[in-house]
Amino acid sequence: MQAIITKYIPCTNTKGSRIQAKCEAKTIYFSYDHALNAEGNHIAAARELIKKLGWDGEWVNGGTSTGYVFVCTKYCEKFEV
């Protein structure tokens, strides 16, 4: 399973704000939904990519300096520190 990375893409003169969701298999752009908060938009974009790829499982996310990373826990090696 591949990790998904999301980042905010600001609006331009021709396109509205959007969230880029990408992994090795595919990249999509999700229109920013102003009814959601920032994290909600990143989650929605990741969900859309997961659906398009036909993936399933329980996902967790963490923030980065440019957005979020999403990882499926179904196939992860779990450990404690």
In a domain, 36, yes or no: yes
The range of the structural domain enclosing residue 52 comes to 4-75
Q: Does residue 80 lie in a domain region?
A: no
Domains identified in the chain, total number: 1
| Residue 22 in domain | yes
pLDDT of residue 76: 77
Q: Give per-residue pLDDT as tens, 14-47.
A: 999 999 999 999 999 999 999 999 999 999 999 9
Hey, which bits of 1-81 come out as E strands? 4-9, 18-22, 27-31, 59-63, 67-72
CA distance 31 to 23: 18
* Separation between Cα atoms, residue 51 and residue 73, nearest integer Å: 16
Q: Is residue 81 part of a domain?
A: no
Per-residue pLDDT, averaged over 67-73, amounts to 95
pTM for the whole thing? 0.90
Residues 53, 57: Cα–Cα separation, whole Å: 12
pLDDT tens digits, residue range 49-60? 999 999 999 999
Q: What is the pLDDT of residue 78?
A: 78
